[in-house]
Structures are given as C-alpha cells and as structure tokens.
Amino acid sequence: MTNKAAGEELGNGVKDSSGFSWIFSGGPETGKQEAAVSPEDKAILRGLGQKVKQLSGLPIQEERRRLWADHHSLKETRPLIFIDPERAWFELIPHTSLQCRGNLARIWEFRLRKEIIWQECINDDRSCCASLPVQHVYRESGFGIDWETRGGENGGSYHIVPGLTDYDDLGKMHFRKIEIDYEKTNRLLSLAHDVFDGLLNVHIENSWWYSFGLTDKAIHLRGFDNFLTDFYEYPDELHALIKFLSDDAMNRLDFLENNKLLSLNNGCEDMGTGGFGWCDELPGEPFDPGWVRPRNMWGYGESQETVSVSPEMFAEFVLPYQIPILSRFGLNAYGCCEDLNSRIPMITEKIPRLRKITVSPWSDTKKMAERIGKNFVYCWKMNPAYIATETVNEEKIRESAREAFSAARKHGCPVEVLARDIQTLASRMENVVLWVRIMREESQKIYG
C-alpha cells in the first residue's frame, strides 16, 4: 500500500523520510529552515507546549520512566509496549491540519502534536517529557568517492549508483569531516528558548548517527551485487573497505567527543532501533555534565544488509570492525531487521556491555528467546504489515504476540514489544490504538 502522505510531509517543501521520528534525519531538515517564528505561530506553539507540560507531569509518566529503567537493568517487569507510526505520522497529522505558517514552527508543531497524540490516543508506554530538543546545524563532507541516489521522489523507491567501482580507487577516499554552523545552531537554540521557556526544557540533542552498522555504507559504495561477491572474489579489499569505514566512525566519534558535541541518550531519547534510553547505569562514572563522552551513552550496531551472509563471514568481515566502536559506549544494543539467531553466540560473547538484542519480524521468536535468556533485553519488533491495511487481521496479531510473549516468559527474558518501520496505517489511527490494546491484553494473559 502506498503512503497517501508521500511527497506532502509538512507542506511548503518541508520533507522528511521518517516522520521526524529519527533525529539523525529530522535534524538536518530543521537546520535548513529560517530561524524565525511569528508572534501568531509562537502563540500556537506555546499553547501546545503548555499541553505537553501538563501531560508530562502526570503520575503515570514517572511510572513509565521507572519501568524502562528497571527493564534495562534486567529487573522483572511487565512487557513494555511502544509504537512509532514513523512515516504514517504524515497520515495521522496531515500538513493541512497544521496551524502554524512558518516552516520551522510547523516542524515544532508537528513534534508537539505527535507527543499529545501519543499520550491522549495511543497510550503505549512512551513517557512524555516536557522538552524541546534542538540539533546542531552542520555540513558534512563525503568520502571523496561517494554514491549517487536516483529516484525516491514522493516516497517511492530509489536506486543507488555505487561510486567505488574499482578497489584501486580505495586509496583516494578520505574520512568524512563535520563542519558545525554554530551561528545558525545558536540562533535556533535561542529562538526555541524564546518560544518555550517556562514550559519546556530546551536543550541540544545528539543527531550524529543512527547506528554503527558500517555495511550499509559499504553497499552504497560498492553496490549490493558487488558487495556480496566481494566476500569471495576480493576478500582482502573488502576487509580494507570495512576497516576504512570503521576507522572513519572512530574518527567521527573522536571529533564529536573532543569538541563536546555529544549529548546523553539515557532518557526520553530513542535509543537505536528500540524503545527509550531510560537507565540507572548511565551516564555512569566518571561523568562531567559539560562533557558527555561515549562511555556515558548507549551505543547501537546492526548489519541488516548482511542477513544472507553466513555467520562465519559475518564474524570475519563485519563484527571485528564494529567491536572497537561499540567498546567505547557504556551500554550497547544490537540488531534491526536482520534475523540474529545464528549470530547470537558471537555478539553476546564479543560485544562489551551488550544489553539489548532485537528480535526482528523475520526471527524465530522461540529460538531467540532461548538464546537471549535472562541476560539481555528481548526487543521484539512486530511485523508492521499487520497494521498497514484498512482491514486489520486481529487474530494474526494476537497469534504472533502470544508466541513471542510465551517464549520470552518461558526463558525469563525481559521483554519489550515494538512496532516500527511503519510506512502507512491506511490513514487509520484506530489501527494504532487496536495494536496497543491487543499487546496489553495478550501480555496480561501471559504475565498476569
């Protein structure tokens, strides 16, 4: 089914690929906008901010934060439930419903209206925070040899034209460089304070990465077919490429850490592909509030593009280059849409301070529960296709929920259930509400 909001997003040319759910995507789009809010738009935003402040102060919010923190400390809790409509937010909050006229104000309005809907309609375990994050505005160079994206208009498919067609050119590549536009960043931050002070906590939020997967960039550089055959035909060169990308990520982290550009993600922030960062073990010690370091944060890795690669090749070509990066973080999560069943032994043994493991819709939920056990969070992601249509197959949702909850309960897994990667909900808010209700009912049958 096609997302009816594709190509429309927030109107006035303001577009985003993820419903502004992922700050690594929404941050750059926000940075493009003029740092200005009219008096009329300010009044609308402050009204919405007042509502979010009110919702954030309800007793249930602290209960939810405590649940997430206990959950991440591997204490016994009920299953936690979270759904993010992502691109379907543009169906649930169409741009024609926004009241602000300025582009920046519309982005902030969209964020606040989402928060209100989460609390008043969806009612999952998302904890509402009275905050308004601002991301750094920045420019980033490429690798010197890069890929080209063709297509993708109006939310459609796109094609990657690889740039590294000959490994002889690998030596021409260089690490990416970040250039911060401090003037624009400070103007946005000052403006956010002017609009929301007294209502919301305005603060700078990290927006520098989604994950340290590495293989997505390798595929973009080489092309998918070339990448897969490189394991056999150019193994040494592939090692060199993944090593280069790992070194680039380490260099990026060094730059961000040394220039005090990192922020904590152990609260209301999305943490990788699953849930929120609430955690008693972070930021940990030593910690300087004025200088956040990776050791104070959650790290996240995945390699969903290599799902067809053998465990042995994953262990040789991918994981060794992710471990040095993830070793810098205080806690780690791993996995996205790949089936990790065959990789569980190596990631649990080799990734330091691993705490969360994703159980994708394509995983064997029973085998994953047996392998995850009590030592890691069982982060189950339901197939979003189940709620993407006008007629929802309720029994299919219940069947998959019973299987996952029963398996997790049997093996003592701390479990959370997520619905993400949603492209459409057929413009039906009731699909979201129904899904949350089903998850609560089925979890209560298993956990009481």
Q: Considering the domain boundaries, does residue 15 fall inside one?
A: no
Query: 333 phi and psi, to 5 degrees?
Result: -125, 155
Q: Is 7 inside a domain boundary?
A: no
- Could you report the per-residue pLDDT of 228-266, keeping only the tens digit for each? 999 999 999 999 999 999 999 999 999 999 999 999 999
User: What single DSSP character describes residue 135?
Assistant: P
What span, in angstroms and rounded, lies between the C-alpha atoms of 235 and 167?
11
Residue 1 has a pLDDT of 46
In a domain, 404, yes or no: yes
Taking the C-alpha atoms of residue 377 and residue 371, their distance in angstroms, rounded to an integer, is 11
Domain-located, residue 11: no
- How many other C-beta atoms lie within 10 A of the C-beta of residue 269? 19
Domain contains 228: yes
Residues of the chain with pLDDT under 50: 1-2
Based on the structure, what is the number of domains in the chain? Answer: 1
Range of the domain at 202: 23-447
Phi, psi of 81 (to 5 degrees): -125, 130
Kindly report the CATH number assigned to the domain that includes residue 389.
Answer: 3.20.20.210
Q: Is residue 13 part of a domain?
A: no
Residue type, 361: P
> What gap in Å lies between CA 310 and CA 325, rounded to an integer?
22
Please check whether residue 1 lies inside any domain of the structure.
Answer: no
Helical ranges in 199-343 per DSSP H? 215-222, 224-233, 235-258, 311-317, 319-326
Side chain identity, residue 370: E
**Three-class secondary structure assignment of 103-134:** HHHHHHHHHHHHHHHHHHHHCCCCCCCCEEEE
Taking the C-alpha atoms of residue 126 and residue 331, their distance in angstroms, rounded to an integer, is: 21
- 355 domain residue, yes or no: yes
Residue 298 three-state SS: strand
